[in-house]
Copies of this chain bind each other. A is one copy, B any other.
Amino acid sequence: MTIMRKTSANARAAAKDATHDRIVGVAARAIRRSGYAGTGVADIMKEAGLTHGAFYSHFPSREAMLAEAAAAACAESVANAAEVAASAPPDEALDAMLAAYLSKKHVEQLETGCPLAALGSETSRQAPEVRRIVTRHIKAAADLIARQSADWGQQSAHERALMTLSTMVGAVVLARAVDEPALSDSLRKAALKHLTSSGH
């Protein structure tokens, strides 16, 4: 009758939790690769090394699983950005984040990159739960940016952070959409130049 959550003393439950996390991890990459609409239950379970039948012992519905996957992708993405910022000199932290976000590598690796860029335009069509999670993520990302540029005063920093985030996301979205590598590079570099130099 004991109610156990998260870490269970029970080895069985621990194994189930591990499987659950593995499915979520696979799904977090799948949604960025194929989009919310393009990600099916069977695909994910197969990629996780399971059969489709086991799915509903881990999630109440496909929708719930998309929400968990979105949360995982968002958490991973913000943590990654925070680490980039932390491992650079404080006065270069913002530039380091911008360089990483607007790098060719990030544009190419959509599957492990920022979910805002990979799923941005699909988000408005998702369930409320997903939108709630993404909204929290956007706030966290904007705060992280604003914190790296405290020299502009509170109000202005927050406003500027929202604009910076918009430019970052838009540039990566367009750089990925385009089918000409040269234009893709130009989009990245134009955003990078104007975001770093205009901060002078």
Contact = CB atoms under 8 A, between A and B. Distances in A.
Interface of A: 34-35, 37-38, 110, 116-125, 128, 131-132, 134-135, 138-139, 159-160, 162-163, 165-171, 173-174, 176-180, 183, 186-187, 189-191, 193-195, 198
A162 B187 contact: yes
A193 B162 CA distance: 11
11 contacts: A35-B37, A120-B170, A123-B177, A124-B176, A135-B177, A138-B174, A138-B178, A163-B190, A163-B195, A165-B170, A166-B167
Nearest to A119: B121
Given A135-B178, A173-B120, A178-B134, A125 B166 contact: no
A118 B120 CA distance: 9
A179 B190 CA distance: 30
Q: Name, among A38, A121, A180, A195, the residue most crowded by chain B CB atoms within 10 Å (CB to CB).
A: A121
Given A35-B125, A38-B37, A125-B38, A162 B190 contact: yes
B35 A173 contact: no
Given A134-B178, A162-B187, A162-B191, 5 more contacts: A34-B125, A116-B177, A134-B177, A162-B190, A163-B171
Contacts of A119: 121
A176 B131 CA distance: 10
A37 B159 CA distance: 34
A166 B138 contact: no
Contact of A121 (B121, B128, B167, B179): B121
A188 B140 CA distance: 18
Contact of A116 (B123, B174, B180, B191): B174
